[in-house]
Chains A and B, each alone.
Chain A
C-alpha cells in the first residue's frame, strides 16, 4: 500500500494528538460485531467484524483416539485460511503464507504445551474413555476480508465460537469381549454440554506509531506503524503469551513494558464486553429454541 510522506506525517500527528483519522483515540477499538451460531452444520461457530475485517470461525467436535502422551485428555486442532475474496493477493501478500502465519500466532495463544496442562481449556473434560476415545475440537477459521486487526478479530471469534460449542452427551455402553466400548451420541441439542471458556485469552495487538502506543490499527494505519506486539491476555489480566509480529520494526526494551501494561489493562475490558454479548446471544438463542 503506497502512502505519501505527507499522509504519513498527518497520520503520525494524529496519533501524537490522540485523535486518529476516524475520530478514535489511541486506545479505542472500532465497533466490534459478534454473532454466534452462524453455521448450522458445526458444533459451534461465530462471526466477528471489526470495521472492514470479517472473520468466520467454526468448531467441530469429532471423536478420535487420544495421543499416547495424554491418554486422559482431548485435543484442539487449529487452522486459519485467508479467502481469495479478501483480495490480499492483489496487494502482493500470499494467501497461504499469511494463513500459516495467523495459524501459528493463534495456536500460541490458545493451545497449551504438549502435555495439555495449563492451557486455556480443560482438555481432560474432553475425554470420553481414557486411552480409547476423546473429543477433538477442530477449529477452522476463515478470513473473509482484512482491514487491519485480523489476529485480534480471530481470537475474539475463536473465543465466541468455543463458547457457542455444544458437545453431545455420550453414553458408553458395556464393553464387549474385545474390550471396545460402544459409544452412543445423544442428538438432542438441549442435552448437550458446553465448554468452560472462562480461561480462554484474547489477543491484543499493541503497535507503536512514533511515540504513541495504539490498538486496533486499520490497514492504512498499520502500513505506517513501527513495532507491533501481539499479547494474549485472559479475563483476569494475566499474560498468556507475547510475540513480536513477524515483520515488525525493532523494539526498545522500555517500550516493551509499556506495551505489555497497556494490553493487560485493555484485554480484560474487551473480554468483559465480549462475555456480556455472548451471554445476550445465548439467552436470545435459548428463548428462540423454546418457541
Chain B
C-alpha cells in the first residue's frame, strides 16, 4: 500500500503455492489446542448424541429423534442447557434472531415494502411503515409515499437495520426506526462468515484512534467507513439527520482499507470478530503490506 503521493513502481508478486508460512505456523499452534476439547463435545452427522445423564430431554436444533435416541443432523458441537440438547454447526448460513443488527442490500421495491438481501436462507422485508420518513415527521403513510419509495431506498442500496419479527416460514421483517439505522454511504462493504460475528450489545463500533466506524452486521456483512462527525442538534434539541458527507481523504481511505484488510484476514483464519480482535488485527498489520496471510 503506497501511502506517499507520488506514483510508485507497480507491485507485481508471483509466488509458488504452499509458501504461506504465516498460515502454517498458525495451524501448528492451533493443533496443540485440539486436545483441550473433550471427545464427546463434537459429533458428526448420524452420531448418537449422548443423553444418558437425564431421563427426559428436549430436542433442540441440529438433532432428530430416531428410535427413541437423539441423533445429530449436522456436524458440530453439542450444547446442553438444562434439558435442552442441541448441536450447533460451526459453519452455516445466517439465521436471524430477534433484535439482530444487520447490514443488507435492497434488491426490490414493490407494494409498500422493500425486499432486502441478507445473505440468509430467505429474503427479508422492510415495510414502508417501519422506516423513518425523510424529515423525521411521524405521520400516516399516504399513496404518495408509496410512489416515492425509491427516494428513500432504491435497488442496490446498502442499509443497516434491526430484525423486528420472525415468521413461521423463516422470512424476516426489518425496521430502521432509529437514526442510527438507514442508508450507508461513503465506505466499503466486507463480507465474512456470519458465524464469526459475536452477538453483542453494541454492533456500531466507533474507533476514533483508527479513524473508522465499523458496523458488524450479525449476518456477516460488515460496513467500514471513515469516522462520521457527531450529529448536530436541531432547534428542538433532537439530533437531526446528518447532511451528506464529503468524499473521504486519502488518509481516511487508507485507514478504511487497512481495517477491511484486517477483517478479511480474520475471516480467512476463521477467528472470531468483535472489537477487541479487530483492534489487534488492525495494529498487527504493518503498513506497506497489501494482502492478508
Contact = CB atoms under 8 A, between A and B. Distances in A.
A267 B16 CA distance: 19
Interface string A14-33: 10011111111101111111
A277 B14 CA distance: 7
A138 interface: no
B254 A4 contact: no
Interface residues of B, number: 38
B23 to A, nearest CB: 13
B184 A6 contact: yes
A250 B291 CA distance: 33
Given A4-B157, A25-B2, A266 B10 contact: yes
Contacts of B2: 18-19, 25
Contacts of A21: 188, 257, 260
A273 B250 CA distance: 30
A19 B253 contact: yes
Nearest to A273: B14
A24 B8 CA distance: 11
B106 to A, nearest CB: 8
Contacts of B1: 19, 23-24
A274 interface: yes
Interface in B238-293: 247-248, 250, 253-254, 257-258, 260-261, 264, 290-291
Contacts of A34: 14-17
B10 A23 contact: no
A7 interface: yes
B156 interface: yes
A235 to B, nearest CB: 14
Contacts of A18: 2, 7
Contacts of A6: 157-158, 183-186
A35 interface: yes
Interface string B149-186: 00000011110000000000000000000000001111
Please name the 3 residue pairs, one residue from A and one from B, whose CB atoms are nearest each other, closest first: A6-B185, A27-B10, A23-B1
29 contacts: A2-B107, A4-B184, A4-B185, A7-B158, A7-B189, A14-B253, A17-B250, A17-B253, A18-B2, A19-B1, A19-B254, A21-B257, A22-B261, A22-B290, A22-B291, A23-B257, A25-B7, A29-B10, A29-B13, A30-B290, A31-B14, A31-B290, A34-B14, A34-B15, A35-B18, A49-B17, A269-B12, A277-B14, A281-B16
Interface of A: 2-7, 9-10, 13-14, 17-25, 27-35, 47, 49, 266, 269-270, 273-274, 276-277, 280-281
